[in-house]
């Protein structure tokens, strides 16, 4: 690994040869942003775009461990750990509280590192003395594996939504982390779907609430009755028929051939247009941001790592949340289907009062996917809501929580203060 990185620093256009160690869209990034077409993009940015999470973190000289854990239903999940900070005062010899980070829809652990040291949350936490673990949901680039079901050939692999991510993946990963570190409890920080899945876990597997010192929901998503733009609304109305259709033709993975980036790139990002709004809009579709918070230089890195994979059913389940205005289990669409599975004609609600871990919500009034009214309702129904913090920038968008230029200053600093307070008093 080390030699590979050294070679990288000296090399130029062709970045990593090994199939291993590459980001989900490394091939497309190399095609798209190759010199001399895009001579303005630095080598360092290109390298960050094509390295996978372990190599990317090691490039910045932070320690990184890869852990695999198997769920009861056979999925093999990849976790990434930054056990401590770098440099002389890295805190390696201290007793460090554990923080577990969970990414959003179509994302991966890369979300927490791709903006680099000093900005990305995982590095900031490691430098502040935390033992940082990053989960990956079933089906994404680092968790696209199963003991029997081949994700490329067996559509049944993709028969899951964020219900299973919350009900099975999170408990499995959290149990593993606690066992491995010998701790009894940890902090949980989620973004977007990483918050949805947490609320699923807390309501369906309430015994896990005791294992959580504090939970921080960045851009919290549970109720979606007021979500979104017209575009998101129309997508949500289409999602059920779309789900049925894709199931009929045996497609379970969202954008299975990963060619979205190539397509978007060729149509929209050619020439020196990399900072052109249309080009970055392909990422914008994932949730939206505020242009002031958007670092256009980093577009290749974001495109190299995102989208990282998901099932169609995850979208269908969110579509149901939007059109039904409820936070409940997957609706199988037929009386019989629901009765067979749940014993009731309607899918059961996730009982938020059972989520008894201390929860802090961090939200923004201009987040298209977490409307203030929905956030208020969530807060009111949670079993132990502790704090609700409005981001002190009214134009902060859904993706700014992870990629925003000021995220460290206006979100992470507050979260870290709360973690400290909970470590002392919690
Ligand atoms: C998937 O898991 C199997 C069984 O643990 C392992 O042998 C294989 O190398 C894994 N494949 C990938 C692509 O990680
Ligand atoms: C897909 O998962 C659901 C929920 O666990 C289950 O009821 C259903 O039988 C599964 N579908 C197939 C084809 O196995
Ligand atoms: C944007 O990203 C580049 C490359 O990482 C960095 O050098 C620059 O300082 C960033 N700009 C802002 C405003 O943070």
Q: Quick one: average pLDDT of 137-148?
A: 96
Supply the mean pLDDT for the chain: 86
249 Cβ neighbours under 8 A, 6+ residues apart: none
Tokens 């099932």 correspond to 311
Catalytic hit among 119, 161, 192, 321:
192
Q: What is the distance between the alpha carbons of residues 370 and 226, in angstroms, rounded to a whole number? A: 8
Read off the pTM.
0.91
Instruction: Name the more confident of 326 and 8.
Output: 326
pLDDT for 369 equals 87
Which residues is 68 bridged to in the sheet? Answer: 78
Report the pocket of ligand 3 as residue ranges, CB < 6 Å.
116, 295, 297-298, 405
pLDDT at 184 over 90: yes
Tell me whether residue 346 is exposed, middle or buried, using C-beta atoms within 10 angstroms of its C-beta: 0 to 12, 13 to 18, 19 or more. middle
36 Cβ neighbours under 8 A, 6+ residues apart: none
Q: Hey, what are 166's tokens?
A: 């919350």
For residues 164 and 96, is the Cβ–Cβ distance under 8 A?
Answer: no
Q: Where are the domains of the chain?
A: 29-253+306-392+407-425
2: helix, strand or coil = helix
Q: Which CATH class is domain 29-253+306-392+407-425?
A: alpha beta
Pocket flag, ligand 1, residue 76 (CB < 6 Å): yes
Looking at 34-38, 266-270, 287-291, 319-323, which range is the least confident one? 266-270
pLDDT at 411 over 60: yes
159 Cα nearest atom in ligand 2: 1
pLDDT for 16 equals 40
Using the mean position of ligand 3's atoms as its centre, give its distance from the Cα of residue 271 in Å: 21
Pocket flag, ligand 1, residue 145 (CB < 6 Å): yes
Q: Hey, what are 264's tokens?
A: 């978007």
Closest ligand to residue 159's CA: 2
Confidence of residue 239 (pLDDT cuts 50, 70, 90): confident
Neighbours of 119 (CB within 10 A): 20
Instruction: Name the more confident of 256 and 1.
Output: 256
């Amino acid at each position: 690994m080390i030699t590979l990185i050294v070679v990288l620093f000296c090399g130029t256009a062709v970045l990593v040869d090994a199939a291993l160690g590459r980001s989900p869209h490394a091939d497309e990034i190399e095609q798209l942003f190759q010199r001399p077409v895009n001579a303005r993009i630095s080598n360092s940015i290109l390298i960050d775009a094509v390295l996978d999470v372990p190599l990317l973190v090691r490039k910045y000289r932070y320690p990184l461990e890869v852990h695999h854990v198997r769920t009861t239903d056979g999925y093999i999940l990849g976790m990434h750990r930054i056990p401590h900070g770098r440099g002389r005062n890295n805190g390696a010899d201290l007793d460090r509280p554990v923080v577990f980070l969970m990414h959003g829809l179509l994302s991966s652990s890369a979300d927490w590192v791709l903006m680099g040291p000093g900005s990305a949350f995982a590095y900031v936490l490691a430098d502040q003395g935390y033992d940082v673990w990053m989960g990956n949901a079933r089906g994404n680039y680092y968790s696209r594996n199963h003991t029997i079901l081949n994700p490329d050939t067996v559509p049944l692999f993709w028969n899951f939504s964020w219900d299973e991510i919350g009900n099975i993946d999170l408990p499995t990963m959290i149990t593993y982390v606690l066992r491995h570190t010998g701790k009894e409890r940890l902090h949980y920080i989620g973004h977007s779907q990483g918050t949805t899945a947490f609320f699923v876990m807390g309501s369906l597997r309430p015994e896990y609430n005791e294992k959580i010192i504090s939970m921080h929901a960045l851009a919290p998503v549970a109720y979606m009755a007021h979500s979104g733009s017209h575009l998101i609304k129309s997508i949500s109305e289409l999602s059920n028929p779309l789900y049925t259709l894709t199931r009929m033709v045996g497609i379970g993975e969202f954008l299975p051939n990963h060619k979205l980036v190539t397509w978007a790139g060729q149509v929209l990002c050619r020439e020196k247009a990399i900072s052109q709004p249309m080009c970055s809009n392909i990422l914008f579709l994932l949730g939206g941001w505020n242009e002031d918070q958007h670092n256009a230089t980093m577009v290749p890195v974001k495109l190299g790592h995102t989208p990282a994979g998901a099932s169609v059913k995850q979208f269908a389940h969110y579509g149901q949340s939007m059109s039904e205005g409820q936070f409940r289990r997957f609706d199988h669409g037929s009386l019989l289907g629901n009765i067979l599975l749940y014993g009731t004609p309607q899918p059961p609600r996730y009982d938020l009062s059972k989520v008894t871990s201390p929860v802090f919500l961090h939200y923004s009034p201009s987040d298209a996917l977490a409307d203030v009214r929905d956030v208020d309702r969530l807060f009111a129904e949670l079993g132990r809501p502790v704090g609700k913090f409005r981001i002190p920038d009214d134009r902060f968008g859904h993706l700014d929580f992870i990629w925003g230029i000021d995220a460290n200053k206006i979100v992470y600093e507050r979260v870290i203060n709360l973690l400290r307070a909970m470590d002392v008093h919690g």
